[in-house]
Structure 1
């Protein structure tokens, strides 16, 4: 394996990575930007950028970016969701949307997503490069930009996955660098992005214990993670009068392990779900065998939780484990650069086809979206 642990900084690979993310996002959005109804053999039965803006749950994050859980807002009437429903959409991603809302709320949403996708890819590259994890760190990173296909979809629409993946990667990166303060801050921010971020707490504590760094100071530092969640829930109590508002929305999706295999009446889904669970379990042990204890612990803890989620979009919940699984399986990728690039091209084509065909079938009703835009314009 070539020496990948050098501390020298080369800007070239980062420019390549960012260019790949941005250009692939442009390709993804191009049919909608130009209002195409057909592209090759693909028919867009809904087109225009409003289809991308309407993709669930993007508009709900836009609403949070405008209200930040205010007890009352005309935007709540626009969607007809009760105010505390928005407690399921944590504030960090909407906060960044708000920063870019000067170009338009929905436009800022897409910009925020793409920027977080760039950040996630950069941290992934830094991890595999600095720790000498991959023979071809740049190619592995470019592959990650397109795989899994579900990840590619959600890094191009209004969704918090890109932000959450970036912060999970940053947490593990800093943990491996023994920069505990930055690791904890990243985990706390992840917790303010999606509630699953709180599961980074046992990952950090277990990693510190394995490295014999579980000092009182470090334990106290990790309390920032649950404190972030406590502050957010206190905010919910002030706004909605319900400290547990989040669970009022999502508690129904937590059941016994593998309940979705019984309740979801689709044989194809059941097989895919079972395959994914086994693959990620293998990835956890592959990471452990490679000495990547921090990553292995993350996959183990996160996978244990995912088995409790009784939701049909199981592959979406598994996205945060994907970059670590790629590292666990890095040895199976071709050593030959040309072969590796061929796989990347095939994966990119599949991801584009998948995203082009999925975006038009999962949008918010157009009339609801238009009410939201009109209400924002009047605020």
Structure 2
């Protein structure tokens, strides 16, 4: 198949899962663990979180091969009370550690009404929304917090990069509407978007970064000369700090100067921290009235008067919901350059290359 005339091709979700699982199995993950990680990584691509899906596979493989991630960790609960727990991930794949934490939180919330479960000695686990969404199928609300895996944010008015993009996600179940799901970094742009701009030869918008003189930085190839900007100015800095304290410091995970840049260091354990808060709607009057009220609010917001030129008011999570449905049918669009990287990885690991369908033109 020739793909020279196109910059993207389509890949079915099941093919993504099989490929990722095969690659992870080749470097020593047990079959069940490789399948779990592959399912979550493919789900990231299916919902449009393409900075956290299969694009991360070569990096994960490199860290595993260099000893930066354990193939067979002893994930365990190290502190526990009725409505809380701390999970030590033993430096395993973050997807496995956080999935375990969410399962524990759901079980505890069913008994206590609410539950907080944090992690330490974890690793990068993909998009925050994956884990905030998991309680939805149990008629529960999920809130997720994490410490990012590289510091790109100084304290407000400072120059030492002591904070990361520390993401937040929240997911609320509905009866008929798509669930309301917020997934956001505490910086104006995630650092992965900066790297994507550099790869495409495009400038960054003003407001993403500033240089060490406080001036706008728009050349992504000079990103190391500056810092990401927090959302909402000093408020975003404060929010990033609070998230880091909750997701990292509270559980004994890395925060501040202790955060390891996993983009450049493939050997040092990152001691990543995450936390999930789960709320059982049965403890607050039941799921049905809550979901009906959320449906009504969603419809009020969507149907509210729009500014001139605005075609639609979107709710958090609606666009990802739409992509998930579309990509499940037509396949996930992947950049040709990424597929070529994955082909080289497949050859090196002696596994079958990623199966794909016809090339498609990149969106204008």
Higher helix share: 1
TM-score, normalising length from structure 2? 0.27
Higher strand share: 2
TM-score, normalising length from structure 1? 0.26
